[in-house]
Amino acid sequence: MRIASQPTYAEKVPINYLNAEHGLKSWLLTVDHKRIAILYLLSVTAFFLVGGLFALLIRLELLTPQGDLVRSDVYNRLFTMHGIVMIFFFLIPSIPAVLGNFIIPIMLGARDLAFPKLNLLSWYLYMIGGILTLYAVLAGGVGTGWTFYTPYSTVYSNSHVMVTAIGVFITGFSSILTGLNFIVTTHTMRAPGLTWSRMPLFMWSLYATSLIQVLGTPVLAIAILLVGIERLWGVGIFNPALGGDPVLFQHLFWFYSHPAVYIMVLPAFGVISELIQNFSKKRIFGYKFVAGASVAIAVYGFLVWGHHMFTTTQSVYAGMIFSFLSFFIAIPSAIKVFNWTATLYQGSISYQTPMLYAIGFIGLFVIGGLTGLYLATMGVDIHVHDTYFVVAHFHFIMVGGSVLAYLGGIHYWWPKISGKMYPDGWGRFSALVVFVGFNLTFLPQFILGYLGMPRRYHAYPEEFWVLNVFSTAGASILGVGYFLPLVYLIWSWFYGPEAPANPWQARGLEWQVPSPPPTTNFPAPPLVTQETYEYSLEEAEVV
């Protein structure tokens, strides 16, 4: 029994996934991907606030050259916890586990992910890992840097390395299982007619992300496990006093952690592809290239990890291989950027909140990505490695890029998720605040880095003062910019006007179901006869 869903179906239904069941238990034991997405949304936001609080304290400490706000040990724990919380507990799960979880099955025309229980298990693993890590924070924190470099982490640090390591280890499995679930879902749950070449670009990028999660994360798990074993039993694996090589740990760590940066940015690419198309009402320029670039990035991403180790004892020749390959990874990113820009050409662009984030993303990602080229250039990296230049590089991509894309995606799909509209004026205003605050925070850090200010410094020489003041000022503005959406989105959840099924006249199966969608998404599997981005067609004909 396959019917094309009628246009009337998109009208409001009295029973949706939010009000289908009530009570705490119906949330904590749910296997509905949409509810699990909401669980993730809440927890990810909480972790972002925690990580942001650490960032705020870091910036306050750096307001003056002397280390006068907190003790150096505390400062070290601040940036460590900031990095760990932001990366493992906020950014990696953000787009995939919140937006992906909610949207993927609907985009594919499925009732749920392939393994709904596994999906819930992922969330629990994530929470267990997160709570262990928060416990480590409360018990006094961990001060190894998010990179856990040995032998400091295994032999010298007297902070709560073990608990944190276990927390990250467990969260790793959450990430693996989410990725596995998405891949299987993409392969087996697509609606009839939804061929690979018709698939939305968001799907492509999440598919690529999931590949990295499945193939990379286990190596992080083993690296962390070895750190734990070495620390607990005092045996020699990486400890040079016992015959080990600390650099081997760095190999294992970066084998995961370099691809992990693409776990953080690929989903953002996917969101941006959706936003750019739907707000300029124009099919992407070069669909095949944009889709293929995602997979190419996922694969190449595994070949460049040694570029984090140019100043170690890594062999000159291995360094050259890694540097060489690092430049290749720039090409698929370049393809994406150029194609997005080309898509705008002769479009019909409207500037609602999500689109502002999308354009901001392109602008900032370009800078972040291009500064990656300095770092991949061996001769220059020798100078800027472990300075604020690197800090600026990755915040440009991760905050200016991924976080902006996440916010853009949240705003874009918010009507679908909540069934309510938010005030667009406030949305546009805070997007602007975020953009300004961001640049003020992180642009000065490039200069600081080239001047030679090392990262992870609790106190710094006076000549770096002025630029650090700019940076701290920017961070406060940025904080406000993040705070505003928090307020008006929560407000709109309760008081916002009802959202129509498709407030943006966007394309994609998720806009064919009511807002908020019913528990089973579709009354019957929809039949897809067109590629996703056919703006010229009347909505009713699309499905």
Within 177-196, which residues bind other proteins (CB under 8 A)? 180, 183-185, 187-189
Give SS3 for 148. Answer: coil
Sequence letter at residue 69? L
297 Cβ partners below 8 Å, 6+ apart?
208, 262, 266, 329, 332, 333
Q: Exposed/middle/buried for 182, CB within 10 Å: 0-12, 13-18, 19+?
A: buried
From the CB of 314, what's the least distance to ligand HEA, in Å?
A: 12
Among 95, 362, 403, 501, binds other proteins (CB under 8 A): 362
Does the protein bind other proteins through residue 380 (CB under 8 A)? yes
From CA 239, how far away is CA 242, in angstroms rounded? Answer: 6
List the one residue out of 511, 96, 431, 88 whose CA is nearest residue 268. Answer: 96
Cis peptide before 423, with omega less than 30 degrees from 0?
no
Nearer to other proteins, 50 or 214 (CB): 214
Tell me which stretch binds other proteins (CB under 8 A): 234-242, 263-271, 422-430, 496-504.
234-242
Nearer to ligand HEA, 155 or 370 (CB): 370
What string marks each residue from 111 to 150 as x (binds other proteins by CB under 8 A) or -?
Answer: xxxxxx--------------------------x-x---x-
Q: How many residues bind other proteins (CB under 8 A)?
A: 145
Contact 284, 244 (CB under 8 A): no
Longest dimension (CA), the chain: 74
CA R_g for the chain: 23
Q: Give bridge partners of residue 420 from the DSSP assignment.
A: 498
From the CB of 424, what's the least distance to other proteins, in Å?
A: 14
Roughly what angle, to the nearest 10 degrees, separates helices 287-300 and 316-344? 160
Site residues (vs ligand HEA, CB under 6 A)? 49, 52-53, 55-56, 58-59, 79-80, 82-83, 86-87, 90-91, 145-147, 261-262, 264-265, 307-308, 326, 329-330, 333-334, 337, 366, 369-370, 372-373, 375-376, 381, 385-386, 390-391, 393-395, 397-399, 402-403, 441, 455-457, 471, 475, 478-479, 482-483
Tell me which stretch binds other proteins (CB under 8 A): 42-50, 196-204, 248-256, 414-422.
248-256
Among 5, 122, 205, 217, binds other proteins (CB under 8 A): 217
Nearer to other proteins, 46 or 469 (CB): 469
Phi and psi at residue 262, in whole multiples of 5°?
A: -80, -25
Site residues (vs Cu ion, CB under 5 A)? 258
Window 48-107: residues binding other proteins (CB under 8 A): 67, 72-73, 76
What string marks each residue from 438 to 477 as x (binds other proteins by CB under 8 A) or -?
Answer: ---------x--xxx-xxxxxxxxxx-xxx-x--------
From the CB of 85, what's the least distance to Cu ion, in Å?
A: 20
Sequence letter at residue 222? I
User: Binds 57, which of other proteins, ligand HEA, Cu ion, none (CB < 5 to 8 A, cut-off by type)?
Assistant: none
Contact 393, 372 (CB under 8 A): yes
Contact 16, 518 (CB under 8 A): yes
